Amino acid sequence: MTVEYRLDGGALPRRLADVLRPELASLASEIVEEIRAKIPAYARPLDGPYGKSIRAGVQHALSLFIEQIANPDASAQKCYEVHHKLGQNEMREGRSLDDLQAAYRVGARVSWRRMMRVGKRNGLSSTVMSQLADAVFAYMDKLASVALDGYLEAKATSAGALETWRRRLLGMILQSPPAPEAAIAELAQLIGWTVPEQASPIAVQALPGTGHNQRKPTLDSDVLADLDGIEPRLLVPGSVTEARLAGIRAALPGCRLAVGPCVRLEAAVYALRWARKALTLAQHGVITDGQVIRCDNHLSTVLVHSDDLLLETLRDKLLAPLRGLTVKQRERMLETLRAWLDTRGSVPDMAGQLGVHPQTVRYRMRQLETSLGDLLHDPNQRFEMELVLRAAPSGRPLRRDVVLPGPRDRR
């Protein structure tokens, strides 16, 4: 922690520190006993480490208050660290936030009660006493705020809460648009997650017949995960190495994984969208990588399928001249057209790819010339035809009902 708070050195005379210093030890004991008497949660014996931390917190608070009167430049850092840790311990001890805040209010009241007696005994003016009252209660409010931060931090990093906050952080990063950088950094610091410059999202899909995985998967601590939502996903800092991927596969054996590209953190929401699309294409047989899909290897395929209705419209437009052929004839023509595009029109290469005689290739090309005409010679339309053909699963013909629809009701 680096928060700083200082008393107003011009408001309180420095000699007041000498007046208050002799009261320190007995005042600390009085505060502790009053807290125990007024708040049932603190009535337990204060033996052992817990009692020691309570007494140390009170003593540090009083010592710093007096020291800052004598020397306004005295650092509060050590005291704040003690009270931040005190707040953490209170949460772990199971005490409520109300009890913690009440303890600071009791401490402020007891301190002020003692200082009124000291002021009267030493003839301090009403002006100085008024300034002292303001300083005491402002100081205790600040310490209570520091302890509150510690309490909430400990609560956020408890087992159940930590998982909730980690999912919340993942959601902030992958929402569209992403949450502000400052909000992400604040929550990441709270749960102890180092914000990376780049990250790789992974879309997760349970394989058919595997059932719900009741076992909580064991993932690396820097991997953010939300596996209970409608669209399960992970976020891995940096690139997903083979070793990292092996660990994730072992943790999620019944799932298909689509590893998105490694991108800047603010672009992770888009990379996840591409990974999710790759899973859909795998379901439809367009991508055939098996249980793990590396989206880096399929970006052009994902791009081509980014608008399925537009793709279907383009198919209708380009390949309508083949609608009059039989299914078998059409499949041969499309297979030949794909080979022609792949080999840049080399008849020997086409014959080798198709496994037919070169004369058969020439015959089919004459048929394509008759059906498609100028489409084969227009660079833009050749490019569009290649997009359409590459959208089909490799080695499989395009389906008639998708590629070459006749008049039908488009519901």
Mean of pLDDT values over 183-193: 88
Going from N- to C-terminal start, the domains of the chain cover 16-156, 198-304, 308-403
Q: Crossing angle for the helix pair 97-121 and 126-156, nearest 10 degrees? A: 160
pLDDT value at residue 7: 54
pLDDT value at residue 411: 33
- Asked whether residue 363 carries a pLDDT value surpassing 90, the answer given is no
What pTM did the predictor assign? 0.53
Buried b (16+ CB within 10 A) or exposed e, 92-125: eeebeeebbbbbbbbbbbbbeebbeebbeeeebe
* Superfamily holding 308-403: PucR C-terminal helix-turn-helix domain (1.10.10.2840)
Q: Which residue has the higher pLDDT, 59 or 215?
A: 59
pLDDT value at residue 216: 66
CATH of 16-156, one of 3.20.20.100, 1.10.1040.10, 1.10.150.170, 1.10.490.70: 1.10.490.70
pLDDT value at residue 5: 40
pLDDT value at residue 256: 93
User: How many other CB atoms are found less than 10 A from the CB of residue 150?
Assistant: 23
pLDDT value at residue 113: 93
How far apart are alpha carbons 213 and 216 in whole angstroms? Answer: 8
How far apart are alpha carbons 198 and 360 in whole angstroms? Answer: 52
- Asked whether residue 190 carries a pLDDT value surpassing 50, the answer given is yes
pLDDT value at residue 359: 86
Contact (CB, 8 A) for 199 and 239:
no
Q: Residue 76: pLDDT band by 50, 70, 90 thresholds?
A: confident
